[in-house]
A and B are shown apart, each in its own frame.
Chain A
Amino acid sequence: DVKVTQSSRYLVKRTGEKVFLECVQDMDHENMFWYRQDPGLGLRLIYFSYDVKMKEKGDIPEGYSVSREKKERFSLILESASTNQTSMYLCASSLGQETYNEQFFGPGTRLTVL
């Protein structure tokens, strides 16, 4: 069974803190994605990766960075958290190089920045 896990379900951080969100998939998928989901805005793509050590900016990369040192793990980093980064963060993975392959999502991390 396909499994994407995220390190925390809920996280509370203070403004200016460095925040790490971890995502691990066990399906040997090439593609991994980080989204944030806000009411009325839907899922917005922050960064994605098609291979180890490879990353591409999505629609809203400002204030974020990513790391993919191993195929199964994709980390999202908030260098200096701000209150407007309070959101639900969802990680996803998909097989192969095609963008139209089904994406499998993790359970999400609800981040609150105070």
Chain B
Amino acid sequence: RKEVEQDPGPFNVPEGATVAFNCTYSNSASQSFFWYRQDCRKEPKLLMSVYSSGNEDGRFTAQLNRASQYISLLIRDSKLSDSATYLCVVILTSYDKVIFGPGTSLSVIP
């Protein structure tokens, strides 16, 4: 089993839709979690951290479920500019290890 898994998609959604991605991780010692966004032919950039209590940043909501070992990203009221690949990142602080998921591709269509 891969350490971090994501549904590669692509997710094709109309503007204004709500879309959710999940990311599962295998190591229960994982301690920190993030979502990065990567536009086509561009570098990844931090979108948001994921906190145990869940956190929201505008239209984006990130949640962590430690019991089931997954994190999620919810995007409300999708915009065309949200089209990108979303990378989940898991940190094993004790091992100084940063693990990127393979990414989920989102296309928001007019």
Residue ranges of A at the interface with B (Cβ–Cβ < 8 Å): 33, 35, 40-45, 56, 90, 98-100, 102-103, 105-108
Tell me if A41 and B102 are in contact (CB < 8 A): yes
Least CB distance from A5 to B in Å reads 11
**Secondary structure type dominating chain B contacts:** strand
A110, closest chain B residue (CB): B41
**Residues of chain B in range 24-67 having any CB-CB distance to chain A below 8 Å:** 31-32, 34, 42-46
Decide if B93 is an interface residue (CB 8 Å cutoff): yes
Residues in A with CB closer than 8 Å to B96 are: 56, 99
User: A9: shortest Cβ distance to chain B, in Å?
Assistant: 10
Q: Once the chains are docked, how many angstroms separate the CA of A45 from the CA of B98? A: 8
Residue ID in chain A nearest B91 by CB atoms: A100
Task: Report the separation of the CA atoms of residues A99 and B4 in the bound assembly, to the nearest whole angstrom.
Answer: 17
> Chain A residues with Cβ under 8 A from B100's Cβ?
35, 42-44
B41 nearest in chain A by CB position: A108
